[in-house]
Amino acid sequence: MELLIHKVKEIKEISDITEVNTLIEKDWILLKIVPNKLKTIYVLGRIEI
């Protein structure tokens, strides 16, 4: 598996899955999913292409 490293310009931690999906459509990538007892936190990064 090939891993492409980009410069991450911005990072957001979001727990709302609809907001996550909206950002992924706008050149954000999912970096990490942090499962929590109360809510799942999605860490997204905006990359420099």
Residue 1: inside a domain? no
Tell how strand 7-14 and strand 28-34 pair up: unpaired
Residue 38: inside a domain? yes
- The number of domains in the chain is 1
Residue 23: inside a domain? yes
pLDDT band at 19 (very low <50, low <70, confident <90, very high): very high
∠ at Cα 47 (39, 38), nearest 5°?
A: 5
Residue 2: inside a domain? no
Residue 24: inside a domain? yes
* Of residues 10 and 5, more confidently modeled: 10
Residue 18: inside a domain? yes
Mean pLDDT of all residues in 17-33: 93
Q: Domain residues for 42?
A: 7-48
Residue 42: inside a domain? yes
Give me the percent of the chain exceeding a pLDDT of 90: 63
CA 16, 18, 26, 24: dihedral to nearest 10 degrees?
70
Whether the pLDDT of residue 1 is over 70: the answer is no
What pTM was computed for the model? 0.73
